[in-house]
């Protein structure tokens, strides 16, 4: 019986500075597939030089992009990795080990913890650790719905397990980068909620940011990360305010 195979699948949007290092850490996979949602720059050229197959699909939402990646891969398992993440040798071995299990009751998907490095520091509070993400999936038992605007989660036919080794995520290098990405997420969230028929409410301009700040700084101990944790809690609250403001403005 042949061993199970695994495709390393990457969503990309022009992150040229990360693509080479990310793919080098995935050289152990049986297949490297990159789906580029931007279609400009040198990323396709750099990825192909590392042995990856590169496809282009104009970005519409994260769920649809990940489902497209599933359909572009050919192995038994698919391991989703973002371009700004790194896979250690230990995590690679663990992936190989769990997919090789000859057990009909074995999980069909696995969550992978992430170490988020923000502004040069590993952030442990505020909900940023262990930040487990559902990333390793049996290709024939996973489905992403196209309507997921961000933080999409696959529907999996079977049990879900959790790996021990973590992905390293170089999440945000600067405050400006954080704000730019949060603005993008806020726009996607507001658009999705608007399509579902939701209307904004003025009171949510206060309540939603406050609950986000409290969740990150108090309930999930963002204070443990000092100034970093305090700033991240405030900026996360600002992002929620931005989404609510966008939704409310659509009423007019």
Residue that is written with structure tokens 């074995």 in the block: 106
| Alpha helix (H) residue ranges in 73-225 | 89-99, 175-195, 204-214
Last residue of a domain, one of 171, 206, 241: 171
Do 161 and 186 share a domain, yes or no? no
Do 29 and 113 share a domain, yes or no? yes
Do 12 and 134 share a domain, yes or no? yes
Do 151 and 179 share a domain, yes or no? no
Range of the domain at 151: 6-171
Pairing of strands 53-56, 133-138: unpaired
Q: What is the pLDDT of residue 150?
A: 60
Do 151 and 186 share a domain, yes or no? no
Structural domain contains residue 191: yes
Instruction: Work out how many domains the chain is built from and give that number.
Output: 2
Structural domain contains residue 45: yes
CA pair distance 152, 67, nearest whole angstrom: 10
**Helices and strands counted in the chain (H then E):** 7, 13
Structural domain contains residue 235: yes
Structural domain contains residue 64: yes
Please state whether the predicted TM-score (pTM) of the whole model is above 0.85. Answer: yes
Do 128 and 200 share a domain, yes or no? no
Last residue of a domain, one of 152, 171, 190: 171
Pairing of strands 142-143, 133-138: unpaired
Structural domain contains residue 50: yes
CA pair distance 167, 214, nearest whole angstrom: 27
Do 35 and 107 share a domain, yes or no? yes
**Residue 252 has which token pair?**
């007019």
pLDDT in tens, 44-73: 999 999 999 999 999 888 888 999 999 999
Do 144 and 29 share a domain, yes or no? yes
Do 180 and 165 share a domain, yes or no? no
Do 153 and 188 share a domain, yes or no? no
pLDDT in tens, 67-114: 999 999 999 999 999 999 999 999 999 999 999 998 889 999 999 999
pLDDT in tens, 151-176: 678 999 999 999 999 999 999 999 99
Do 30 and 12 share a domain, yes or no? yes
CA pair distance 22, 101, nearest whole angstrom: 26
CATH number at residue 46: 3.90.550.10
Q: Answer whether residue 149 shows pLDDT above 90.
A: no
Angle between helices 226-249 and 175-195 (to 10 degrees): 30
Structural domain contains residue 1: no
Structural domain contains residue 124: yes
Tell me, what DSSP letter sits at residue 213? Answer: H
Beta bridge partners of 143: 155
Cα 234 versus chain centre, distance: 22
Last residue of a domain, one of 114, 147, 171: 171
More confident residue, 37 or 2: 37
Segment 195-223 shows an average pLDDT of 95
Q: Which helix (H) or strand (E) holds 115?
A: strand 114-118
Do 120 and 86 share a domain, yes or no? yes
């Amino acid at each position: 019986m042949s061993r199970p195979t695994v495709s390393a699948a990457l969503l990309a949007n022009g992150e040229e500075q990360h693509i080479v290092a990310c793919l080098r850490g995935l050289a152990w996979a049986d297949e490297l597939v990159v789906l580029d949602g931007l279609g400009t720059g040198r990323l396709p050229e750099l990825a192909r030089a590392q042995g990856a197959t590169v496809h282009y699909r104009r970005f519409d939402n994260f769920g649809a992009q990940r489902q497209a990646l599933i359909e572009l891969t050919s192995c038994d398992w698919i391991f989703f990795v973002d371009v700004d993440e790194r896979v250690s040798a230990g995590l690679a071995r663990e992936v190989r080990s769990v997919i090789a299990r000859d057990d009909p009751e074995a999980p069909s998907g696995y969550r992978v913890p992430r170490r988020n490095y923000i502004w040069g520091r590993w952030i442990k509070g505020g909900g940023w650790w262990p930040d487990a993400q559902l990333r390793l999936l049996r290709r024939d038992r996973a489905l992403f719905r196209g309507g997921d605007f961000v933080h999409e989660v696959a529907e999996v036919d079977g049990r879900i397990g959790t790996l021990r080794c973590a992905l390293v995520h170089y999440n945000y290098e600067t405050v400006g980068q954080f704000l730019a990405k949060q603005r993008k997420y806020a726009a996607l969230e507001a658009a999705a909620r608007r399509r579902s028929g939701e209307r904004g409410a003025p009171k949510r301009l206060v309540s939603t940011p406050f609950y986000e700040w409290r969740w990150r700084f108090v309930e999930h101990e963002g204070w443990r990360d000092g100034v970093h944790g305090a700033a991240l809690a405030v900026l996360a609250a600002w992002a929620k305010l931005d989404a609510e403001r966008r939704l409310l403005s659509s009423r007019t």
